[in-house]
Chains A and B, each alone.
Chain A
Amino acid sequence: MEDFLVASDLTKSFDGTQVVASASFTVRSQEIFGLLGPNGAGKTTTIRMLSTVLDPDEGDIRIGGHSVAGESDAVRRLIGVCPQELALYPELSATDNLVFFGRMAGLPGGEAKARAAEILERVGLTDRAKDAVRKYSGGMKRRVNIAIALMSKPRLLFLDEPTVGIDPQSRNHIFDTVLALRDEGMSVLYTTHYMEEADRLCDRIGIMDAGHVIALGTPVELKTRIGNPDTTTLEEVFLSLTGRSLRD
């Protein structure tokens, strides 16, 4: 499989503190790539650089053959971002949120509406589409957050901790959606703190700690590093690689 995203030696500092340090990895076409790491490891900062929001101090990113630095407009047409926060307007309905972001991404009004209805159906929110998002449950809000990222028909989707604080039903719904999207040809970069979630979803995983990518591979490859892949959990791998000391 070809590499859809190639990140080489990404480095970023804030106020003299290095937050991302020479991070290199790739996301292949039609794969779910998990970026794991403790709090403050630099995952969100990495996604910001990959999604053209933040300029890296050093390093190079290519997405779909385009340079993020030089051809950001072309890159922006290929990506969708679901931020860690609920990046939406709680006072607006789900439909209005989707239509707004769709139109801001360049869709004409009619097309944005049609696409919003289609995506809301997909994330199971058609019944409540007209209600203000403020009134939704946590799981429903998370699903809207993802739905908005799909409005621009991305080929690469960034999901930054998309399942924080929601019940197993909503979580499973999101898993199914993400797996289906991949099967339709989308590439996904997924960050999470839940190891069993990564184990279940991700084709390949990169583990970040203090800004460095310290391990890369399939879940089975990573487990094999410390023991028998059938009895070892990803959490054990994670703790053995990143240590047990508290972060933040």
Chain B
Amino acid sequence: MRLFIRQALLLSLKDTRLFFKDRFALGFALLFPILFIVAFSLALGDIGPEDEQLRMAVATEEENGFSREVIDILTVTETTGVDEWDPKDAGLALHEGRIPGYLLFPVDFTQRIFSGESTEILVITADGDPETKAVLDGLARSIGGRIGTLSLAVRGVTELEGLGSLDLVKLGELGAAPPSIFFTSEQVGDVEPFNATNFTLPGYLTMFVFFAAALGAEAIARERQTQTLERLLANGVRRSSIVGGKMLASLYRGLLQLFFLWVLGIFAFSIDFGTSPLAVIAVSVFMAVASSAFGVMLAALVQTVKSASSAAVLTSLTLAPLGGCWWPLFITPDWMQALARLTPHGWANDAFNKLMLFGAEGQDVLVHIGALALFAVAFLAVAVGRFRTVSAN
């Protein structure tokens, strides 16, 4: 065991030195993913509501009352992304396509709340614009939620003064509606724009950690061809130490990529690790372990350097889109999501999305971490079983 550790460590340190001397490998592992992340964050960022064209319009038919208060709060600064419109202007602007839609508070909005009747906020959008409708629905629901709690306070006052009663059930329903992401961020002060990097970064991170590990198979095949592996064997180095050392070296590279890209993501793209940053890190590490086992397995399955690089490129470019590295899995049809489960990429991306976009906790991704560990074990088993140190010449 001591011999194994010593040999594997020495071997992996040597490989790491070589990695730092190899400008192409370094660039591929670290700079390439940055290029992709920047490019696709910019491209996908355009569809997010932080865009100027997607500002939201609200209008009220009331002179004063609750809707006035709400609109004042919503439009207090530029950053909230909400503009107040005159109801007639808003209708016209929608008609002419200057705004995609708006929220309208009816003239009896406040009065109905006070009299205990149900009231409504109108979501008015052009036909066939589900995106705007979804955004405005979310805003309306979050306002409803707020009015719900506000009205409860009001109810106390009005009952005391005998002015009428409120419809508790209706208000309860409004209040129970799940607040949108928008509402959540609005509560803490200013609106955070939807950050596309939160899914482009984990996606390309996963893709490139696996890609770099797969390309590592090339270096192993080269060592087989130049007979350095033979030389090591004849020197008393165990086959298992060679496999272990190669996997370790690949793991160091993967961890370096993770560290580099996550730090970059946090400082340059303000990505959000969600409520369980430790879980994000755990998923990352298990993903890197699986990738290094994958690389060594590839090396064990191919003979020549050339077949190693073809296999690396081919597997990486197939598994990445299948596993949701190029677009978020949650927008794909069920059968694609099922297919993604067959790839380690899919488990990693699903875990990242859950943690970073949907507020999942560490325990929600334990299954994912387990799946990644299983992949690692399976890949390693194939690697150990098939690893050859001698090549045909």
A residues near B (Cβ < 8 Å) are 14, 44, 48, 51-54, 73, 76-77, 79-81, 83-89, 91-92, 96, 100-101, 103-106, 148-149, 152
Contact = CB atoms under 8 A, between A and B. Distances in A.
A101 B10 contact: no
A92 B228 contact: no
B235 A105 contact: yes
Interface stretch (B15-23, B70-78, B325-333): B15-23
Q: For the complex of A and B, list the 3 residue pairs with the smallest distance between their C-beta atoms, beginning with the closest.
A: A83-B227, A76-B236, A87-B227
Contacts of B233: 52-53
Contacts of B22: 91
Contacts, number: 72
Given A76-B236, A87-B226, A92-B17, A54 B390 contact: yes
B17 A87 contact: no
A193 to B, nearest CB: 15
Nearest to A90: B226
Contacts of A152: 235
B306 interface: no
B234 A85 contact: no
B200 interface: no
Contacts of A148: 231
A101 B225 contact: no
Contacts of A96: 17
Nearest to A74: B236
Contacts of B198: none
A85 B226 contact: yes
Contacts of B230: 48, 51, 53, 81, 83, 87
A73 B236 contact: yes
Contact of A76 (B7, B10, B235): B235
A101 B231 contact: yes
B226 to A, nearest CB: 5
Contacts of A89: 14, 18, 228
Contacts of B226: 83, 85-88
Contacts of B54: none
B389 interface: yes
Contacts of B389: 53
B14 A100 contact: yes
A105 B18 contact: no
Nearest to A158: B234
Interface in B50-68: none
A105 B236 contact: yes
Which of B22, B225, B233, B393: most chain A CB closer than 10 A? B233
Contacts of B392: 14
Nearest to B19: A91
Contacts of B21: 91
Given A48-B390, A54-B390, A104-B11, A88 B228 contact: yes
Contacts of B301: none
10 contacts: A77-B236, A81-B231, A83-B231, A87-B227, A88-B228, A89-B18, A91-B22, A96-B17, A101-B231, A103-B10
B377 interface: no
Contacts of B168: none
A85 to B, nearest CB: 4
A149 B235 CA distance: 9
A53 B390 contact: yes
Interface in B1-28: 7, 10-11, 14, 17-18, 21-22
Nearest to B236: A76
Contact of B227 (A76, A84, A92, A106): A84
Contacts of B228: 87-89
B237 interface: yes
B10 A100 contact: yes
Given A85-B226, A85-B227, A89-B228, A53 B10 contact: no
Contacts of B237: 104-105
Interface in B224-257: 225-228, 230-237
Given A53-B233, A85-B225, A44 B11 contact: no
B18 A91 contact: yes
Which of A14, A77, A81: most chain B CB closer than 10 A? A81
Contacts of A106: 236
B334 to A, nearest CB: 46
A101 B235 contact: yes
Contacts of A79: 234
Nearest to A103: B10
B234 A52 contact: yes
Contacts of A76: 234-236
Contacts of B232: 101, 104
Nearest to A82: B231
Contacts of B236: 73, 76-77, 104-106
B326 to A, nearest CB: 34
Nearest to B238: A73
Nearest to A15: B392
Contacts of B234: 51-53, 76, 79-81
A89 B21 CA distance: 11
B235 A104 contact: yes
Contacts of A149: 231
Which of A14, A87, A96, A106: most chain B CB closer than 10 A? A87
A76 B239 CA distance: 14
A152 B232 CA distance: 11
A51 B231 CA distance: 9
